Amino acid sequence: MKSKIKEKQVTILENRKLFGGLDEATKSKILNKISEGLIVQRQASKKNNIPAPL
């Protein structure tokens, strides 16, 4: 018997809902820290699931 091959759905940025689990106050605090230079954007993306720079 042959089994059917399941196709994976392509994940795009809209489907992943990044930055969605945080409330607005936390988002603004993180963005302020990034803009002040206290946190690097890559570190913030790993810690808080925000989009990383390319």
pLDDT tens readout for residues 21-30: 778 888 888 8
Closest C-alpha among 28, 19, 17, 25 to residue 47: 19
Task: Give the Cα separation of 23 and 29 in Å (integer).
Answer: 10
pLDDT at 50 exceeding the cut of 80: no
Question: Over pLDDT 90: what percentage of the chain?
Answer: 4
pLDDT score at 36: 92
CA dihedral defined by 31, 33, 37, 39, rounded to 10 degrees?
A: -100
Question: Over pLDDT 70: what percentage of the chain?
Answer: 72
Task: Give the Cα separation of 53 and 12 in Å (integer).
Answer: 15
| DSSP letter (8 states) at residue 29 | H
pLDDT score at 23: 81
- At which residue do the structure tokens 């059917």 appear? 4
pLDDT tens readout for residues 11-21: 665 656 655 67
